[in-house]
Structure 1
Amino acid sequence: MTVIGFLKKTVAVPVALAMTLGMAQADTIRIALAETPSDEMAAFFVALERAKANGLDYEWTAFSDEELAIQAVLSGQMDIGFGTPYAAMQKSKAPLRIIFQLSKLKFFPVTSKKYETLADLDGEPILLHSRGGGTDSIANVIEEKVGMKFGERSYVPGSSNRVVALVAGQAEATILDLSNTNKIMEQHPDMFNVLEMFEVEASDEALFANLDWIQANEEDVQIFVDALYTTWRDMNADPTIISKETNPDGPIGQLPPEILGSLDDFYTAAVKGGLYDPEGGGMKAAQADMEWYSEAGQLEGDPASLNIDDFWYMAPLEAAKAK
Structure 2
Amino acid sequence: MSYLASNERYSTMKYNRVGKSGLVLPAISLGLWHNFGGTDTYENGRAMVRYAFDHGITHFDLANNYGPPPGSAEENFGQMLKQDLHPYRDELIISSKAGYRMWPGPYGEWGSRKYLIASLDQSLTRMGLDYVDIFYSHRFDPNTPLEETMQALDHIVRSGKALYVGISSYNAEQTKQASAILKQLGTPCLIHQPSYSMLNRWIENGLQDVLDEEGMGSIAFCPLQQGLLTNKYLVGVPEGSRASRSENLKNQAISDKTLDQVRRLNDVAAARGQSLAQMSLSWVLRGGRVTSALIGASKVSQIEENLQILGQADFSSEELASIDAILKD
TM-score w.r.t. the length of structure 1 is 0.28
- Structure of greater relative contact order (alpha carbons < 8 Å, 6+ residues apart): 1
TM-score w.r.t. the length of structure 2 is 0.28
